[in-house]
Each structure stands twice: as structure tokens, then as C-alpha cells.
Amino acid sequence: MRPPGNFSEYKGSSVLITGGLGFIGSNLALRLAEVPEVEISIVDALRPDQGGNPFNIARIKDRVKLHLADISDETLSEQLVSGVDYIFNLAGSVSHIGSMLEPQSDLALNCTSQLKFLEACRKFNPHVKIIFSSTRQVYGKPLYFPLDELHRVAPPDENYHLLYHQLYGMRAVCLRLTNTYGPRQLMHHNRQGFMAWFIRQAIDGTPIDLLGGGKQRRDLNYVDDVVEALLLAGTNEASDGEVFNLGGEESVSLAEVTEELLSLTGSGSVRSVPFPPERQLIDVGNFHSSFSKIERTLGWRPHTSLRVGLARTVEYYRQNRAHYWTQHDDSVSRSETTIS
């Protein structure tokens, strides 16, 4: 098992983070900013309701180059990717419900845009290392536990990255993230996973609705552990062309998660409600990923316990709720961001 590192391998390198104003991207940028002499660029389209928030990087705003743009803009992407050493590709729509309600928009954001971006990389920086954040949802309803990388899948956006590795030798790696939680996550609606919304309700002292009584079990990762995995995958050649699951030490029921939250916040309540039909259609039941492959290959495993991670998260939002409880137009002027 590898302990958390200082990632000095990134010293003197240039890094591009797509979706860098979002939850995981901003936490990644904050971690990279601790490494000396790393040139960090962020590109984010700040699409409404997708989680991009300029406040997420307020502490390091003078340390990064910010570009408010869409990676589907081919001319712009060509300029962004040229000369960078690493690309952490976190851009895209992450709402499962949204993909069902607006499939054409989901296709454009998660497939067409990714293909255009990869073409820009192939043409203008074919040797760049790309770390792509995928999701456990590519597996659908699990056939067995703990679920490993050999389980059936059909993810087009992920396959694009692996195909470009196979055909063009581009150094791409895909990480399949499970339920990630922590500071800087979108909190003003409940369409991007249950964890952020449960945390908000517990802080507000409002009832948390547990569908079906909260018996469903999930594995969870605190965002700092996910950032650790992304950075390990970036510097290790053994990750090239590979797919890795992330996952928790064990699965916990949603009822157990809410019990921890109520204990930490000292407020809120829980009520059991039946599944709405549209949720029942897409619910996968229990889910638990195996992270044994990434542990063997890169030495990664989660370090943060659920209680510790939830305590840190609750404290962060109690101090900064004004920046997350509503949709803000605390926008960064597009005239302030340039392509250099």
C-alpha cells in the first residue's frame, strides 16, 4: 500500500484540467498547486447546473490559467492541448437523470465533445498523458460483487480514449469512479447523486427521504482519495491503456450514511418513501467495486474513513454555504480569460 505522496513527479510540468471548476477538478487543481513549478490550466464551460463554481478555486486563482470555454470548440482545444504534459479530462455531464431526460444533449456533451477533444490531442499533442474520469455507472446493474474491471460494459466516451491509445499510441488511462463526496460539490439541486443532497439536508435540518428505506448499499470515496488516484495514474507508465475501478473499503447502506450524517450535524431526520417510477427504472440496487487492480498496479487504496470524510465535508459547507446553496452568477468574465 502506498501512503499519500507529495507528487514531486509533476514538478516543472504543465497540466490541463478540463471541467476544472467542478467538484473533482477543483480539488485536483488545489492539490497540484501544492507542487512547486507546476503550470496549471483549467478549462470549464460553466454550464448551468453542472457544478462549475469559480469559488472552488478562489484560494489559487492567481496560481492557475482559467479558460471559460467548451472543449467541443475545436480551434480552442487545439491551442489548449498544445505543449501540455498531462491532461486530466473531467469535463462532461454527470447527471444520470439528465441523460435520460435529454439524451441528445448528453450525447453531445459526453461523446461528441470528447471525440473532438481527442482529435485535437492526436493532431497537436499525440504524446500527452490523458487521465479520463469515467464512472461505475458504465456497468449498469451488477451481476456479481465485488464488481471488477472484467464485468460487462458499454461506455462510448471511455472507449474513445482506449481506442485512441490502441490506434495512435496516445497515453490514455480511464478511472471508473464510484460515489465521490467532499468539499466543492454542487449542492443547489439533487440531480447529481445522493451524497451532496443528503449532506445539505442534514446541515439544514430538513427530512432526508430514503427511497425504499435506504437499504441500497454503495461504496464511497472521499474526494482527496480520488485526487490521489488521478495523480498516481498520471505519472505511472503502467497505467497507459488501462482501466481501473476506484471503490471503498466496504459498502454501506444509505440508511447507515444518513445515521452518520445526523450524528455529525446534530440535526435533521429521516423518512422512508417509496421509489418514484422514474427512479425505480434506473436504480441498480446494491453496488460495490473492487479496487484490487489499481492497488496491485499503482499502490492506491482509499485512506479516508466515512466518518472523517463526512466531518470534513460538513465543516466545509457550514463555513462556505453561501457559495453553494443557490445557483450563483459569481461568474468570471470571459473577457478576463484568454488563450495564450
Q: Which residue has the cell 462556505?
A: 320
Query: How confident is the prediction for the chain on average, in pLDDT?
Result: 91
**Cβ-count burial 285-306 (b if 16+ within 10 Å, e if not):** eebbbbbebbbeebebbbebeb
pLDDT in tens, 147-160: 999 998 867 788 88
Could you tell me the pLDDT band of residue 6, with boundaries at 50, 70 and 90? confident
pLDDT in tens, 300-332: 999 999 999 999 999 999 999 999 999 865 455
Q: Which residue has the cell 445557483?
A: 327
DSSP state, residue 110: I
Predicted local distance difference test score (pLDDT) of residue 314: 98
Contact 143, 97 (CB under 8 A): no
Nearest one of 289, 287, 247 to 150, comparing CA atoms: 289
d(Cα 310, Cα 83) in Å, to the nearest integer?
39
Kindly report the pTM of this predicted structure.
0.90
Q: Give the domains, in start order, of the chain with CATH numbers.
A: 12-185+220-249+288-303 (3.40.50.720)
Predicted local distance difference test score (pLDDT) of residue 336: 41
Identify the weakest region by mean pLDDT among 4-8, 234-238, 328-332: 328-332
| Residue 293 φ/ψ, nearest 5 degrees | -65, -45
Q: What is the 3-state composition of the chain as percent helix, strand, coil, each rounded to the nearest 5?
A: 45, 15, 40
**137 vs 74, higher pLDDT:** 74
Nearest one of 36, 39, 30, 27 to 8, comparing CA atoms: 36
Helix (H, G, I), strand (E, B) or coil at 79: helix
| Amino acid (1-letter code) at residue 280 | Q
Predicted local distance difference test score (pLDDT) of residue 333: 46
Nearest one of 227, 246, 225 to 295, comparing CA atoms: 246
Contact 181, 252 (CB under 8 A): no
**306 vs 136, higher pLDDT:** 306
Predicted local distance difference test score (pLDDT) of residue 79: 96
Whether the pLDDT of residue 204 is over 60: the answer is yes
Predicted local distance difference test score (pLDDT) of residue 193: 82
Whether the pLDDT of residue 114 is over 70: the answer is yes
DSSP state, residue 21: T
In angstroms, the first-to-last Cα distance of the chain is 40
Residue 279 pairs in a beta bridge with: none
Predicted local distance difference test score (pLDDT) of residue 335: 36
* Cα–Cα distances in angstroms (integers) from residue 337 to residues 43, 44, 135, 198, 321, in the given order: 10, 11, 30, 35, 27
Q: Which residue has the cell 499510441?
A: 169
Q: Which residue has the cell 422512508?
A: 272
Could you tell me the pLDDT band of residue 228, with boundaries at 50, 70 and 90? very high
Residue range 164-170: mean pLDDT, rounded? 94
Predicted local distance difference test score (pLDDT) of residue 256: 97
Helix (H, G, I), strand (E, B) or coil at 10: helix
Handedness of CA 275, 219, 50, 87 (dihedral sign): negative
Predicted local distance difference test score (pLDDT) of residue 151: 92
Residue 64 pairs in a beta bridge with: 40
Could you tell me the pLDDT band of residue 284, with boundaries at 50, 70 and 90? confident
% of the chain with per-residue pLDDT over 70: 92
pLDDT in tens, 31-55: 999 999 999 999 999 998 889 999 9
Residue range 87-111: mean pLDDT, rounded? 80
Could you tell me the pLDDT band of residue 338, with boundaries at 50, 70 and 90? very low
Predicted local distance difference test score (pLDDT) of residue 337: 44
Whether the pLDDT of residue 257 is over 50: the answer is yes
Predicted local distance difference test score (pLDDT) of residue 328: 62
**Cβ-count burial 68-96 (b if 16+ within 10 Å, e if not):** bbbbbbeebbbebbeebbbbbbbbbbbbb
**172 vs 163, higher pLDDT:** 172
User: CA angle, 79 as apex, 21 and 184 as ends, to 5°?
Assistant: 5
Residue range 211-235: mean pLDDT, rounded? 96
